[in-house]
Amino acid sequence: MCGGMTVRGSVTGDNAVKLVLTFSLLVAAAAPLAGQSLRGSTASLDRQNRVARQNDFTYLNTPAQLARFVDAGYLVELPRATRDYELHGVGFPYARPEVALFITRLAAQYRGACGEQLVVTSLTRPKSRQPRNASPRSVHPTGMAVDLRRSNRPACRKWLEAVLLDLEGEGVLEALRERRPPHYHVAVFPKRYASYVETVQLASSSGGRDYRVRRGDSLWTIARRLGTTVSDLRTANDLAGSRIYPGQTLAVPETP
């Protein structure tokens, strides 16, 4: 018995080799997805805190300390409401500049996809103002985290979760689906996210470039990442459907 499967009869020669190769391919295909979920874990908390240490972020203890970081420019103030997002019940409307960039970009895409504002429910929180149910290892006091309200619309939840998982796969953030109250906790990795945005912007502003497909890519994720559309990708690459494979080179159409 292997992994809950019972193989009856004997397996020899070429058949044995085929079974081993098939099992190896299945494991290899599943490996990139390991740890990629919205359930959260000790490993996820470890990554968040490790990034905070690597960036030499201070865990702010009091509102007064937070105010000093705002004055020094380490934290920026976000508008309480824009066309694309709203801060709801946020006591301290401040975050790292890269988190503010993340919210601005995500909110514009979210409104375009769902037709509603993205609702932000928490940003930087000093340790003295953390809620009772907050983890003692929360990175909210560093200014690199944001909480997003879960929409009542299933299609909007599905869209947002797919985007968060995609960005988590890029290694630029860690996302967790919380239940009480229902929201998404997102820890943005500042340097990695800023580099990712720069790459996306360069791709969307230049034409005639190629993209090499990676494991886990789809036409939808590639189109969103490179600022184009699935339809344009299909046309540029003479694709009848949506099937692509790792290692394949796609022509990226020039954006208008």
Mean pLDDT across 57-81? 97
Fold of 42-193: Muramoyl-pentapeptide Carboxypeptidase; domain 2 (3.30.1380)
pLDDT digits (tens, 9 = 90+) for 132-147: 989 999 999 999 999 9
Domain 207-252 maps to which CATH number in 3.20.20.80, 3.30.360.10, 3.10.350.10, 1.20.1050.10? 3.10.350.10
pLDDT at residue 121, as a whole number: 98
Task: Report the distance separating Cα 17 and Cα 234, nearest Å.
Answer: 38
pLDDT digits (tens, 9 = 90+) for 103-118: 999 999 899 888 999 9
DSSP letter, residue 38? S
Reading the block at residue 50, the tokens are: 């490790």
pLDDT digits (tens, 9 = 90+) for 216-228: 889 988 888 787 8
Q: Is the pLDDT of residue 48 over 70?
A: yes
* Cβ count near 236 (within 10 Å): 14
Among left, alpha and beta (phi > 0; psi -120 to 50; other), residue 73 is: left
HEC readout, 86-132: EECCCCCCEECHHHHHHHHHHHHHHHHHHCCCEEEEECCCCHHHCCC
Reading the block at residue 102, the tokens are: 């993340």
**Residues 6+ away with beta carbon under 8 Å from 149:** 88, 119, 120, 121, 182, 183
pLDDT at residue 192, as a whole number: 95
Q: Give start-end residues of each CATH 3.10.350.10 domain in the chain.
A: 207-252
Q: At what angle do helices 154-169 and 97-114 cross, to 10 degrees?
A: 140
Q: Give start-end residues of each CATH 3.30.1380 domain in the chain.
A: 42-193
Cα-to-chain-centroid distance, residue 6: 38
Burial class (CB in 10 A: 0-12, 13-18, 19+), 31: exposed
pLDDT digits (tens, 9 = 90+) for 124-180: 999 999 999 899 999 999 999 999 999 999 999 999 998 999 899 889 999 999 988
